[in-house]
Structure formats: structure tokens, C-alpha cells
A and B are shown apart, each in its own frame.
Chain A
């Protein structure tokens, strides 16, 4: 009795030569087995001839594979680079941050934020260079020393310097003047070596001035002569801008 599985193995060429020869010999005297063997061969031929290796177009699928391989390569490149130079990258970032911090601290920032203004007003502690508002002569002398000709820009007939103080806030040299004109008191901050104000909108009708509000007090800020000036008072921004027009730093 011939095992049918051996017949399939013979048709597939999977039998050893000696086994194959013995089976072929046995089939000569067994027509039923021979018919079965031929049926197997016919089916194999049918599958080979009728079933195409690629039943449908697979170009698109292959392009998808290439795309995925590209992504895989890209990820590997990035991972390889980061893995190899992780310490160097971290060191470089650290140095950049440290250098930036030192630079910022050393030179001072060129921009003043709204929050900085509030600190400059509240944190400015009178120093030995402050003068009491009672002594007008002393104030004028102090301002003369401090600002040179700048004080002459304030018309004494229309505005009076009533006091002044100078000190450092957040590493910046800040000078505060107490002023008075016909409409009341004002405060003026002078911050040297600053060039711009961030986070403040411009005053309506005057692009030169920036408007802000500190507590219940309005203020306008502008730059003049390489310094930034901030004028505070309980007035509208437009009124403050008009007063600011009369102040000059030479």
C-alpha cells in the first residue's frame, strides 16, 4: 500500500532518489496510484499556470514600503546622532544657556517689560544720593550733577523737580524724579542703556509713547537720548504724552 503523502512528496521532488525510484517502480503495477499521481501533477500544473504569482498590481504597496524604510532610516539616523553626541549636545546647550545668562547679566537687557516697571517703582530704595523734596536748591544741584544739561530741558516755569533718588533695581541703574506741574504731581523714571519696551501698546494718537497702567496709576514710556523714560501720574495717557513732550534728555 503506497502512502498518498509519499506520492505528493514524489510530485514535489522531496523524496530521496532511492525512495523515488522505488515508488515509481511500484506505481507501474498500480494504475490507481498512477492516476492519483497524475492528478497531483495536473493540479500542480494548474496552480502554476493559472495562478499568477502577483494577482494584482503591487507597485503602490512597494512604494509604501520604501516610504516606511525611509522613515525608519531617518529615525535611526537621528537616534544614532543623539545617542552618540548626547553628552556633547547637553554640554553645548548648557554652555549656551550659561553664556547667554552671563551676557544678559553683564550688559543688561535692551528691553524693559511691563512687570519690570512695577518693580522699578516699588523696589527703588532711596540711597545716599537721594535728596529730600523740601530742598529745591539741593535738588537742582543734584540733578545738575546727575543729568548735566538735561535738567535745563525741564522748564522751571512750567515744571519743577521736587525730589530725586537713584539706585539699582534688577541690576539696572534707575533714577526717579518727583515732578510737579500745574495739574499736580508726577513721577519720572530714567533708565539708561535701554532701547525698547515690550508688552506695551502705543498711546492713541502718538506712536512715540507706550501706554501702561501700574495699580491705579497710568504711565507712558518712551526712549530719548539712549535712555528710557517712564512718566507716572493719575492722568490719562494722552495727557501724560503731552507732558512727556516737554521732557528732554540730552
Chain B
């Protein structure tokens, strides 16, 4: 029994250490506060350890991210003040990202620094940001995102499309402000 528990702890710790950067990074992007992210990540690790017996053994990272996301949704979101912009018009019409824009995408994205992309990402409303983070940064499938956030796949698709559209707009604003847009257009 004692050895079984030890083995369980070792096995969990090995897997958790591997995925912890993703867990912590996601927590950081969700909370946008290092202190809260540490708290959220630690809480998620403890919850996962307590529930490790119920882990089906398939995708540990997706399972961990689901716990982080659920924990964030259940606990941290309740603390936030003000209306949740992310809940507006989720199923509404998805705007095209480039049809009416003259911005050459490659130049825009190549000139964007990592910190600026982070800043632009932070401006995207929470639900949409969460979908973009889980899909484009953490590489989760639609089904995994749907499981993690507790919404249907259709909503995930919608949130991703709108989230990316908003992110692109934020990056365009940055490019215009910094002069990259004009420079790129001239070229």
C-alpha cells in the first residue's frame, strides 16, 4: 500500500513536471497576474493529484489543462468585477479577418514582438482568449477545449473564429501605432 502510494506520487510528479510550464503559462494568461497564476497552478496540481486515480491515462496535458480551466472558470472568474465581454454575441456572425483589410499579414506578424502579441492577446475577451490559448498555444483539439471549458464544439469553433479576429484587430492597432503598417503597405 505504502509503495503503491509512492509509485503513484512518482508517476504523477513525473508527468506533472513535464506539463507544468503549459499549466502555469495558461494560468498566467488567464489570470494575467503571476501571484494568482501560481495560486491557480498549484491548486490545479493538488486537485489533479487528488483525482489522479480517475485519470484515464490518455492525454495528461489535456486533462491538466481541463482542470486548470475549470478551476479558473469556477473560482477566479467569480472574483472578477464588471460584465463579461466574452459572453456577448458568441454565436453571432464571425467577421472575416482579412477580406476588407489591406494589411499584408506576413509583415504585420513578422514585425510583432512576442510581448506585443501577449498584450494583444490579453485584450481579447476572456472566453475567446481562452479558446485561442488552448488551441493555438497549447495545441488542444476542439473536443478537448469543449471538455475543458464545458461548452459544445460549435461554441468552441465560434469562439476561436471570433477570438482570432479580435486578436488580429488588436495587432493591427499595434502595427498602425508603431508605423509597421504604413511601412509594410509601402513595400
CB within 8 Å: A-B pair count: 128
CA distance in complex: A7, B46 (Å)? 39
Q: Tell me which of A58-66, A113-121, A133-141, A164-172 binds B.
A: A58-66
CA distance in complex: A53, B50 (Å)? 26
Closest to B121 in A: A51
The one of B24, B49, B95, B109 in contact with A69, judged by C-beta atoms closer than 8 angstroms, is: B49
Beyond A5-B158, A48-B136, A72-B46, whether A65 also contacts B20 by CB under 8 A is yes
Closest to A64 in B: B42
CA distance in complex: A236, B36 (Å)? 71
Structural contact, A48 and B24, CB atoms closer than 8 A = no
The one of B94, B98, B135 in contact with A12, judged by C-beta atoms closer than 8 angstroms, is: B135
Q: A30-42 vs B: 1/0 string, CB under 8 Å?
A: 0010011011101
Please give, as numbers and ranges, the residues of chain A lying within 8 Å of B94 by CB-CB distance: 4-5
User: How many B residues are at the interface, by size bracket?
Assistant: 35 or more
Please give, as numbers and ranges, the residues of chain B lying within 8 Å of A73 by CB-CB distance: 5, 9
Please give, as numbers and ranges, the residues of chain A lying within 8 Å of B161 by CB-CB distance: 4-5, 7-8
CA distance in complex: A64, B94 (Å)? 42
Structural contact, B49 and A72, CB atoms closer than 8 A = yes
Min CB gap A237→B, angstroms: 62
The one of A32, A35, A64 in contact with B38, judged by C-beta atoms closer than 8 angstroms, is: A64
Beyond A8-B157, A53-B137, A54-B21, whether A69 also contacts B118 by CB under 8 A is no
Structural contact, A51 and B106, CB atoms closer than 8 A = no
User: How many A residues are at the interface, by size bracket?
Assistant: 35 or more
CA distance in complex: A164, B55 (Å)? 84
Please give, as numbers and ranges, the residues of chain A lying within 8 Å of B132 by CB-CB distance: 47
A157 at the interface (CB under 8 A from B): no
Q: B92-132 vs A: 1/0 string, CB under 8 Å?
A: 00111111000001100100111001100100000000001
Structural contact, B9 and A69, CB atoms closer than 8 A = yes
The one of B37, B50, B117 in contact with A51, judged by C-beta atoms closer than 8 angstroms, is: B117
Structural contact, A47 and B117, CB atoms closer than 8 A = yes
Structural contact, A39 and B136, CB atoms closer than 8 A = no
Min CB gap B9→A, angstroms: 6
Structural contact, A54 and B24, CB atoms closer than 8 A = yes
Min CB gap A66→B, angstroms: 7
